Structure 1
Amino acid sequence: MKEDFLHYVWKYQKIDTLHLATVTGETVLVIHPGQHNYNSGPDFFNAQVKIDGQLWAGNVEIHLKSSDWYAHGHEADPAYDNTILHVVWEHDTEVYSKNQKPIDTLELKDVVDNSALKKYRYLFSAQQRWINCERQYSSVDPFVLQNWLERLYLERLQQKSEVILKLLEQNNNHWEAVLFQMLAKNFGLKVNGESFFSIASSVPFSIVQKCRYILEDLEALLYGQAGLLPEPTTDAYVANLQQKYTYLAHKFKLDNSTVIAPKFFRLRPPNFPTIRLSQLAMLYHGNTHLFSAIIEAGTKETFYGILRCKASSYWDTHYNFGVEGSKRAKKLTNNFMDLLLINTILPIKFCYAQGMGKDISETLLQLTASVQKEENTIVKRFNKLKPMANNAMDSQALLQLKKYYCDQNKCLDCAVGNSILKN
């Protein structure tokens, strides 16, 4: 038995409401269970309860045992002075407020709805399952699930906004600088994300702005900070980049001691850091006002037009410095641009709109629904249980569901878990 189940039972009144009484025999009639409090303080605010015919308005605190009141130090905490009812699974001691006034206690173990208790125990009975509701997930109403996925996606955007706001503070509210750092991280994908972020963070964005007008200057800046320029070399392109980086490092007093070295190991050649850094340089070389363009754009096709670029011409015949191969332009694919949209651009748009006092939730839901879903193990397993993920909004929501609800056994905070328990 967990306390969050008792919160669920009280919130949705999954109890024998016609035969409630305190441990001292006074009748209890719940007019309103109160507002669930997820922060510190009493578990439910502004409840209304009639005890022995007398209407009380105040807070309700919930514990597994009455003695938890003292174990948690509530008797000395003024936040609990207005507690009108102590709801427990098992009553094992009398409870008093700070002024030694007895607090009415309602014991639940004999009045909880048996069906709800049975479903709860079944839901949490097999920890070996991939998710607790694995056997019941397919029976959940698609309407309930779709609404929950939309809420989860917006929750995910909100979490990403917190990261963006911290970066914004570190960059003195410079949105362009934050966009550059986040784009760099996502150009590095999972393997080199932190490395590329460290590269972008090692250079003041004002220097990037000065170098963006000459492509090889910007490439030299990124490759040099990444420590990728080989020495010595007979390759004219590499020698030119080395010369440019030496000049830039001296002029701007550059330091790359904090940069995490990029990796090549187990990467497909199109994802080599040499290719991705050139593509990032080309994106900024070709877009003078990238942040403004992104904020104004409203369709997937418009974003594709902004993001579409390729590595510089040297990389048409190379994947690494000095190693020539067959000719092939190294363009950003639609799938890669979708990842940039999902992980960088849409969170930036959401956060920026919030800062401007605008709600663009519906616009972003529609926009994300036009983007292809991600293909990963989690999305595939959810789709195997119930085919619901059709686009990027769904796949992002399912990632949020798995990490922050399923993996943490927060079924009682989840619409899927609630639906299973209610039905």
Structure 2
Amino acid sequence: MQEDFLHYLWKYKKFNTSKLQTVLGEAIQLLQVGKHNFNSGPDFFNAQLKIEDQLWAGNVEIHIKSSDWYVHHHEIDPAYDNVILHVVWEHDVDIFRKDNSAIPTLVLKDVVSKSALEGYYQLFYKAQKWINCESDFVSVDDFILQNWLERLFFERLERKSSQIETLLSASMNDWEAVLFKLLAKNFGLKVNGESFFSLANSINFGIIRKTQSKAQALEALFFGQSGLLETEIEDEYYKSLQQDYQFLKQKFNLSQTSVMPLQFFRLRPPNFPTIRLSQLAQVYAKNQNLFSKIIEAKTKQELYNLFSVSTSPYWETHYTFQKSSNSINKSTSNKFIDLLIINTIIPVKFSYSKILGQLNTETIIGLINEVAAESNSIIKKYNTLKPITSSALQTQGLLQLKNEYCDKKKCLQCAIGNTILNRF
């Protein structure tokens, strides 16, 4: 038995409310269950009920056993002085406030709906499954599902926004600097994301502003800080980058000590860090005031125009400095730019508008719905249960659902789980 399930029973009155009574036999008339509290303090605020002829207004605390009150030391916590009812599954000890007045106790085990219990055990205690509601997922109403995924998408955005606000504070509210760090991380993709992020953190954005008119200077800066210009290679472009980097390193007193090593192993050549760093350099060489342009952009196509770049000419015939290859134009693909839109651009636009107090969720929804649905093992598995993805809004919602609800068994806080349980 989970305490969350008792919260669910109380919140949705999944028990016989007609003949409630305390463990002392006093009649209880439930008027309002109160507001569910997910933070510290009692579980439900501002409940209203009658015990015999006395009207009570206050808070409700819920536990598996009555003795949990003392296990959690509520008897010495003033936040619990206004508890008017202790709701438990099993009563094993009487409970008293700090002033030694008894707290009325209601035992749910005696009044809970058998169908609610059946639904609970079916959801949580069947054989091992990928997600608890695997067998019922297909039957969830599309309207409920799509609304929940939209809410989860914004929940995911809120988490990312919190991270952006931390970066903003560390960057003295320089949005261009924060954008650079986030873009760098996403240009590194999963394998080199943290390495690219450490690279961006090692460069004061003022240096980017002073060098971005010259793409080669930016490449020299990025390659040098990443440790890719440390050896001696007989290559004219390599030697030119070395010279440029030594000048920049001395001029701006650059340090590489905090930059994580880059990885090439098991990467497809188009995703080699050399290629992605060159593309990142080209983005900044092409776009002065990139942050302002992103904020002003309203459509996916406008963002494609900003981020559609090729590498410098050298990388058209190279993937590494040591070996040449057939000439190929190595441009950022629309699929790659979609990842930037999902993971960097929309979170930045959301955070900026929220801080200004100008958040327009319809604009965010319109943009994310233009972006194609992602494809990964989690999304594919959900789609085998029920085909539901048409854009990145749904796929981002599904990732939030799996990571923050399904994997953590938070079915009782999930609209899907509640919908399934409410059938019983």
After TM superposition, give the deviation of residue 413 of structure 1 in Å. 0.3
Is 246-255 or 226-235 further displaced after alignment? Answer: 226-235
Amino acid at match of 1:180: F
For residue 69 of structure 2, what is the aligned residue in structure 1?
69
Please give the per-residue CA displacement for 1:357-389, whole angstroms capped at 9, x wherever unaligned. Answer: 112222111211110011100000000001011
Instruction: Report the 3-state secondary structure (helix = DSSP H, G, I; strand = E; otherwise coil) of the residue aligned with 2:18.
Output: helix
Q: What is the rounded CA distance, in whole Å, between the counterparts of 1:347 and 1:79 in structure 2?
A: 37
For residue 317 of structure 1, what is the aligned residue in structure 2?
317
Amino acid at match of 1:338: D
For residue 51 of structure 1, what is the aligned residue in structure 2?
51
Q: What is the rounded CA distance, in whole Å, between the counterparts of 1:365 and 1:288 in structure 2?
A: 27
Please give the per-residue CA displacement for 1:83-123, whole angstroms capped at 9, x wherever unaligned. Answer: 11110001111111110001110000010111111110111
For residue 188 of structure 2, what is the aligned residue in structure 1?
188
Instruction: Report the 3-state secondary structure (helix = DSSP H, G, I; strand = E; otherwise coil) of the residue aligned with 2:145.
Output: helix
Q: What is the rounded CA distance, in whole Å, between the counterparts of 1:283 and 1:28 in structure 2?
A: 68
After TM superposition, give the deviation of residue 127 of structure 1 in Å. 5.8
Instruction: Report the 3-state secondary structure (helix = DSSP H, G, I; strand = E; otherwise coil) of the residue aligned with 1:303.
Output: helix
Moved over 3 A (4+): none
Please give the per-residue CA displacement for 1:69-95, whole angstroms capped at 9, x wherever unaligned. Answer: 111111111111111111000111111
1:378 matched to 2:378? The reply is yes
For residue 227 of structure 2, what is the aligned residue in structure 1?
227
Please give the per-residue CA displacement for 1:310-334, whole angstroms capped at 9, x wherever unaligned. Answer: 1111111111114111111110000
For residue 337 of structure 2, what is the aligned residue in structure 1?
337
Instruction: Report the 3-state secondary structure (helix = DSSP H, G, I; strand = E; otherwise coil) of the residue aligned with 1:17.
Output: coil
1:281 matched to 2:281? The reply is yes
Amino acid at match of 2:371: V
Instruction: Report the 3-state secondary structure (helix = DSSP H, G, I; strand = E; otherwise coil) of the residue aligned with 2:229.
Output: coil
Please give the per-residue CA displacement for 1:212-234, whole angstroms capped at 9, x wherever unaligned. Answer: 11111110000000001253222
**Residues 53, 73 of structure 1: alpha-carbon distance in 2 compared, 3 angstrom cutoff:** same
For residue 350 of structure 2, what is the aligned residue in structure 1?
350
For residue 31 of structure 1, what is the aligned residue in structure 2?
31
Unaligned runs of 5+ in 1: none
Q: What is the rounded CA distance, in whole Å, between the counterparts of 2:162 and 2:184 in structure 1?
A: 18
Q: What is the rounded CA distance, in whole Å, between the counterparts of 1:102 and 1:232 in structure 2?
A: 81
Please give the per-residue CA displacement for 1:251-294, whole angstroms capped at 9, x wherever unaligned. Answer: 11110011111100000000000000000000000000100000
Please give the per-residue CA displacement for 1:373-411, whole angstroms capped at 9, x wherever unaligned. Answer: 111000000000010111101001100000000000000
Unaligned runs of 5+ in 2: none
Q: What is the rounded CA distance, in whole Å, between the counterparts of 2:421 and 2:4 in structure 1?
A: 13
For residue 177 of structure 1, what is the aligned residue in structure 2?
177
Q: What is the rounded CA distance, in whole Å, between the counterparts of 1:309 and 1:27 in structure 2?
A: 73
Is 227-236 or 187-196 further displaced after alignment? Answer: 227-236
Instruction: Report the 3-state secondary structure (helix = DSSP H, G, I; strand = E; otherwise coil) of the residue aligned with 1:97.
Output: coil
Amino acid at match of 1:44: F
For residue 159 of structure 1, what is the aligned residue in structure 2?
159
Amino acid at match of 2:377: T
For residue 361 of structure 1, what is the aligned residue in structure 2?
361
Q: What is the rounded CA distance, in whole Å, between the counterparts of 1:2 and 1:168 in structure 2?
A: 39
Q: TM-score, normalised by structure 1?
A: 0.99
| CA root-mean-square deviation | 0.8
Alignment of 1:93-172 (within 5 A): 93-126=93-126, 128-172=128-172
Q: What is the rounded CA distance, in whole Å, between the counterparts of 2:185 and 2:54 in structure 1?
A: 61
After TM superposition, give the deviation of residue 60 of structure 1 in Å. 0.3
Q: What is the rounded CA distance, in whole Å, between the counterparts of 2:45 and 2:326 in structure 1?
A: 69
Q: TM-score, normalised by structure 2?
A: 0.99
For residue 197 of structure 1, what is the aligned residue in structure 2?
197
